Amino acid sequence: MVQDNGKEETLALKLRVWRQRRGQPGAFEEHSLAAVPTSASFLEMMDMLNEQLIKAGKDTFAFDHDCREGICGMCSMTINGMPHGPIPGVTTCQLHMRNFRDGETITVEPWRARAFPVLKDLAVDRSAFDKVIQSGGFITVRTGSAPEANNIPVPKPVADEAMDAAECIGCGACVASCKNGSAMLFVGAKINHLNILPQGQAERDRRTLAMVKTMDEAGFGNCTNYGECQAHCPKSITLDVIAKLNRDYLRARVKEFFSSTGKPSKGGD
Amino acid sequence: MHLDSKIPAGPLADKWNNHKAKLRLVNPANRRKYHIIVVGSGLAGSAAAASFAEMGYEVSCFCYQDSPRRAHSIAAQGGINAAKNYQNDGDSVRRLFQDTIKGGDYRAREANVYRLAQVSTSIIDQCVAQGVPFAREYGGLLANRSFGGAQVSRTFYARGQTGQQLLIGAYSALSRQIGLGTVKMYTRHEMLDLVLVDGKAKGIVTRDLVTGAVESWSSDVVVVCTGGYGNVFYLSTNAQGCNVTATFRAHRRGAGFANPCYTQIHPTCIPVHGEDQSKLTLMSESLRNDGRVWVPKNKADCAKPAAEIPEDARDYFLERKYPSYGNLAPRDIASRAAKEVCDEGRGVGQVVDGKRLGVYLDFSAAIKRLGEAEVRARYGNLFDMYENITGENAYKQPMRIFPAVHYTMGGLWVDYNLQSNIPGLFVGGEANFSDHGANRLGASALMQGLADGYFVLPYTVTDYLAGEKSGSRPSNEAPEFKAVIKDVNDRVAKLLSINGTKSPRYYHKALGKITWEQCGMARDKAGLEGAIRDLQALREDFWKNVKVVGSGDALAPELERAGRVADFLDFGIMMCLDALTREESCGGHFRTEHQDAGEAKRDDAHYAHAAVWQWTGEGQLPARHVEPLVYEETQLSTRSYK
């Protein structure tokens, strides 16, 4: 932000940043950083800190980031105890320093969750999310086998609702913000995206059961309605998706129970 | 260098179908005996890897991100073109082809572009079936919009997140195969070299970014879909990790690199705000549908707030210069026009490096005409993003925009089958050079990535494999693999051992400053020659004075950046050399020596060709070869949007 005298406003900050090697215990390190422009993004501030460390011959802080425009879902910092920091509806990369005060102490930690082990410093392993998708987060359609696109009309409200859920960027802030380390918001978003579309009906129950099973196995906790996930989701996904996940899960379990013929499965799929 | 484009004979409209009918097949029972390596998991890579696995091949896919879903295709906002003609406005395959080849200023390969337009319709079918939530009309059918430079509505979109939704579609298809065990996915792995055995691509060497382990992988064929090289300019709309290393390493092993000077400068980005900026953010081009671009007529007004500049003191320069397209003029034209008014000293916004580099994009007329609620419904997320970054409310004051590097049309040279001049090395998506010529039209990058991945590579790679004996691939214990592993280890060790005084980012910034100023929107001979000398000096300094902290056995972001910057330095020299030797203005590439009163002047008699560069050794300038572009059914004309 430029002041009336033409100079850019800057901040002097105290930073407490998590330092950890893979498989070892970690601890906070304290650093001072001066002349941070308020127009810089949070990650640009971290770049400045790392450049300062390089000058001093010290190792930089590793952190995940890529697109820096809020869509890839790679950035993942817990800032002053809040995943993606204090501003609702933004990712860490879209958080700007004008939201902080001169002289402030900022605490920067990785995502904290059992299912997301720390790889180094602020970078964690979120491959558990990929495993959940691999188990059922798709509509099976071989390349080339799709019917003409307009043969499948989708009412606009349904398409809009699917799109609301599909905005999830898979960053994991929901898990990091939850006391239980639950992934229900993430899984609920994917279930809502695919289960309400006409194209997704054939695999609806199978998808729901498989994804919930994988989610449980990956070490994510249960949902007890704290609602922290909704508060910290950078894409403002709401708790509705969890209610609908529960509904679809119940539906699938009941159907599974009553559709059983007692015969052992012949496989074939 | 042998450059045979292998364009099939026959009329343009029949080439692909005739060619497909002649391509060889591999028996389903034999497919699992072939191993395909796919590098990159964006639209082209994910789509190709998923399709190969569905066909029954053994597939390994590598990406540097922590998940394939994060590849930078995800950031595309606006949409994807397809010749469906759902709007009944006269669209057709032929017309999409004509628009794309004209948009590329007649520097793309005709047959490839026609095929792209042909398969575009299948892409939409495929994506809808996967559950991509495209915008719909109330009747439930698909909606379309018109997009930069097109006079028909053929763009399909999913709010401002079309790239994200298409990538999630491809990622879900890929994930299904990973779950089935038919694709082995290696995330946080970066390809650092290509392995050739008897002149054919037979594998790659990667570094595991988490453990630092350098490993080799052997395969029957290697498919590289690693995106573009926009980060050679340091500031671009690309993701931080986007790099040229995979394609440049292949180039060093003998692959021709075509048209490296073709880069796309996107007109609607948020202007640079300061020295510590790491990235430029694109605002979707769709904003130009309702926003009007202007600057003050008088330099004296530039420091005033927009509201204090009366209507008659504003210059709506795109509407003035290009009345029939106005604010929707193609990207290259709009970008250059913005640069011109800023160079005249009529730019707006804050002063960076002594200049105001920005123009207004004003929605006040649209808000008056449509109401704020409708403008919010169309562009709300973009206005929010703008406010978040700049702290300014674009409903109350005009946005400020400036062009930024966005996409790179150049890439590894490929023939009609998307095979490079190295047998067994295929290249898809932005990483190849073939479809966009000297300029890419909006909404055609997503189209090309998915076309290559879903509908071209599965056919052409199969044809190649049919000629390779199954089970004949070498072991990765072979001496060729060991030699390349040694090269990679030596290079990593060298980077870590220099222990100089300047960070990799310092060199990246210095590189970007040179390339942006001398090889950006306007170029001239003296500037490019100077840039080549400056880059050579910078490269020498890098290898003496770079300081890479961290260790080789853990996540080491500085080491990753150093390796990428080292390749960008070599690449930047080649890019400037390509710009220097292309003595014409085409697309967004304005050689100031070649113009007609400010408009680009192409030279079809001497430059209707792709320039293909061959690596000649460390520290040497590459050698230039050409593939003449043969236009069988296209009349080359001067592009006019007036």
CATH superfamily of the domain spanning A10-120: Beta-grasp domain (3.10.20.30)
- Report yes or no: A22 at the B interface, CB cutoff 8 Å: yes
Handedness of CA A207, A209, A214, A215 (dihedral sign): positive
> pLDDT tens-digit profile of B193-210?
999 999 999 999 999 999
DSSP secondary structure string for all residues of B74-143: GG--S-EE----TT-SS--HHHHHHHHHHHTTT-S-HHHHHHHHHHHHHHHHHHHHHT----B-TTSSBP
- B479-607: which CATH topology? Methane Monooxygenase Hydroxylase; Chain G, domain 1 (1.20.58)
- Report yes or no: A33 at the B interface, CB cutoff 8 Å: no
Handedness of CA A54, A56, A61, A65 (dihedral sign): negative
Yes or no: say if A86 and A80 are a contact pair by the CB < 8 Å rule. yes
**What are the backbone angles phi and psi of residue B616, rounded to the nearest 5°?**
-120, 5
- A126-259: which CATH topology? Fumarate Reductase Iron-sulfur Protein; Chain B, domain 2 (1.10.1060)
Mark yes or no for CB contact A40/B276 under 8 Å.
yes
Of A51, A72, A139, nearest to B130 by CB-CB distance is A139
Handedness of CA A58, A63, A67, A68 (dihedral sign): negative
> Domain segments of chain B: what residues?
266-405, 479-607
Instruction: Kindly state the tokens that stand for B390.
Output: 């700049």
- Partners of residue B556 in chain A, C-beta under 8 Å: 62
Which comes out higher in pLDDT, residue B381 or A32? A32
Task: Check residue B642 and report its DSSP letter.
Answer: -
Residues contacting B198, CB < 8 A, separation 6+: none
Model pLDDT, residue A267? 53
> pLDDT tens-digit profile of B243-269?
999 999 999 999 999 999 999 999 999
What ipTM, to 2 d.p.?
0.96
- Max distance between CA atoms of chain A, in angstroms, equals 82
Instruction: Give the Cα separation of B610 and B413 in Å (integer).
Output: 9
Instruction: Kindly state the tokens that stand for A149.
Output: 């696109």
Mean pLDDT in residue range B491-506: 97
Which residues lie across from B546 on neighbouring strands? B502
> Domain segments of chain A: what residues?
10-120, 126-259
Model pLDDT, residue A98? 95
Pairing of strands A105-109, A78-79: antiparallel
User: By percentage, how much of chain B surpasses pLDDT 90?
Assistant: 88
Handedness of CA A253, A254, A255, A256 (dihedral sign): positive
User: By percentage, how much of chain A surpasses pLDDT 90?
Assistant: 92
Model pLDDT, residue A4? 46
Q: Which of A65-79, B116-130, B316-330 has the lowest mean pLDDT?
A: B316-330
| Burial label, B199 (beta-carbon count in 10 A; 0-12, 13-18, 19+) | exposed
Residues contacting B432, CB < 8 A, separation 6+: B411, B412, B413, B414, B418, B452
Pairing of strands B80-81, B292-296: unpaired
Residue located via tokens 């500031």: B235
Model pLDDT, residue A269? 47
Model pLDDT, residue B155? 96
Mark yes or no for CB contact B274/A40 under 8 Å.
yes
> pLDDT tens-digit profile of B421-469?
999 999 999 999 999 999 998 899 999 999 999 999 999 999 999 999 9
**What are the backbone angles phi and psi of residue A124, rounded to the nearest 5°?**
-120, 165
Which residue type is seen at A250?
Answer: L
- Partners of residue B72 in chain A, C-beta under 8 Å: 66-67, 72
Mark yes or no for CB contact A48/B276 under 8 Å.
yes
Instruction: Give the Cα separation of B476 and B485 in Å (integer).
Output: 10
User: By percentage, how much of chain B surpasses pLDDT 70?
Assistant: 100
Of B164, B178, B278, nearest to A134 by CB-CB distance is B178
Q: Which of B32-36, B42-46, B57-61, B635-639 has the lowest mean pLDDT?
A: B635-639
| Burial label, B197 (beta-carbon count in 10 A; 0-12, 13-18, 19+) | middle
Mean pLDDT in residue range B281-290: 87
- Report yes or no: A34 at the B interface, CB cutoff 8 Å: no
Yes or no: say if B221 and B96 are a contact pair by the CB < 8 Å rule. no
Instruction: Kindly state the tokens that stand for B502.
Output: 């300047």
- Partners of residue B284 in chain A, C-beta under 8 Å: none
Instruction: Give the Cα separation of B80 and B340 in Å (integer).
Output: 30
Model pLDDT, residue B78? 83
Residues contacting A49, CB < 8 A, separation 6+: A15, A17, A31, A33, A61
Mark yes or no for CB contact A41/B176 under 8 Å.
no
Instruction: Give the Cα separation of A73 and B77 in Å (integer).
Output: 15
Torsion of CA B440, B442, B447, B453, to 10 degrees: 50
Instruction: Give the Cα separation of B542 and B370 in Å (integer).
Output: 55
Pairing of strands B425-427, B522-523: unpaired
Yes or no: say if B388 and A94 are a contact pair by the CB < 8 Å rule. yes
Mark yes or no for CB contact A130/B547 under 8 Å.
no
Catalytic residue annotation of B: 331
> pLDDT tens-digit profile of B502-515?
999 999 999 999 99
Instruction: Kindly state the tokens that stand for B2.
Output: 């042998």
- Nearest residue in chain A measured CA to CA from B49: A143
Residue located via tokens 């005298």: A5
Task: Check residue A106 and report its DSSP letter.
Answer: E
Of the candidates B160, B163, B242, B188, which has an alpha carbon nearest to the alpha carbon of residue B68? Answer: B188
> pLDDT tens-digit profile of B23-34?
999 999 999 999
Model pLDDT, residue B349? 92
- B266-405: which CATH topology? Flavocytochrome C3; Chain A, domain 1 (3.90.700)
B551, pLDDT greater than 80: yes
The rounded mean pLDDT for chain B is 95
Task: Check residue B271 and report its DSSP letter.
Answer: P
Mark yes or no for CB contact A68/B137 under 8 Å.
no
Residues contacting B357, CB < 8 A, separation 6+: B271, B272, B342, B347, B349, B402
B625 confidence band (pLDDT: 50, 70, 90): very high
Instruction: Give the Cα separation of B391 and A96 in Å (integer).
Output: 9
Give the global pTM.
Answer: 0.96
- Partners of residue A234 in chain B, C-beta under 8 Å: none
Which residue type is seen at B152?
Answer: V
Mark yes or no for CB contact B277/A148 under 8 Å.
no
Task: Check residue A34 and report its DSSP letter.
Answer: E
Q: Which residues in chain A land under pLDDT 50?
A: 1, 4-5, 268-269
Model pLDDT, residue A5? 47
B285 confidence band (pLDDT: 50, 70, 90): confident
Yes or no: say if B120 and B114 are a contact pair by the CB < 8 Å rule. no
- Partners of residue B279 in chain A, C-beta under 8 Å: 68-69
Distance of alpha carbon B363 from its chain centroid, rounded?
29
Q: Which of helix, strand or coil describes residue B62?
A: strand
Beta strands in B332-464 (DSSP E): 351-352, 355-356, 359-362, 399-408, 411-412, 425-427
- A51-to-A48, B64, B411 alpha-carbon distances in Å: 5, 23, 32
- Report yes or no: A262 at the B interface, CB cutoff 8 Å: no
State the smallest CA–CA distance between residue B498 and chain A in angstroms.
13
Q: Which of helix, strand or coil describes residue A245?
A: helix
Yes or no: say if B363 and B291 are a contact pair by the CB < 8 Å rule. yes
Instruction: Give the Cα separation of B43 and B165 in Å (integer).
Output: 10
Which residues lie across from B255 on neighbouring strands? none
Of the candidates A110, A78, A134, which has an alpha carbon nearest to the alpha carbon of residue B555? Answer: A110
Which range of B79-83, B373-377, B382-386 scores highest in mean pLDDT? It is B79-83
B179, pLDDT greater than 90: yes
Q: Which of B23-27, B329-333, B480-484, B559-563 has the lowest mean pLDDT?
A: B329-333
Of the candidates A91, A97, A98, A50, which has an alpha carbon nearest to the alpha carbon of residue A68? Answer: A91
Yes or no: say if B58 and B32 are a contact pair by the CB < 8 Å rule. yes
- Nearest residue in chain B measured CA to CA from A163: B133
- B266-to-B149, B326, B335 alpha-carbon distances in Å: 13, 16, 6
Model pLDDT, residue A7? 59
Model pLDDT, residue B392? 93
Mark yes or no for CB contact B173/A141 under 8 Å.
yes
Contacting A residues, span 141-160, partner chain B, CB-CB under 8 Å: 141-150, 152-156, 159-160
Mean pLDDT in residue range B407-416: 98
Model pLDDT, residue A266? 61
Instruction: Kindly state the tokens that stand for B320.
Output: 């003035």
Q: Which of A29-33, B148-152, B273-277, B454-458 has the lowest mean pLDDT?
A: B148-152
Of the candidates A42, A44, A47, which has an alpha carbon nearest to the alpha carbon of residue A96? Answer: A42
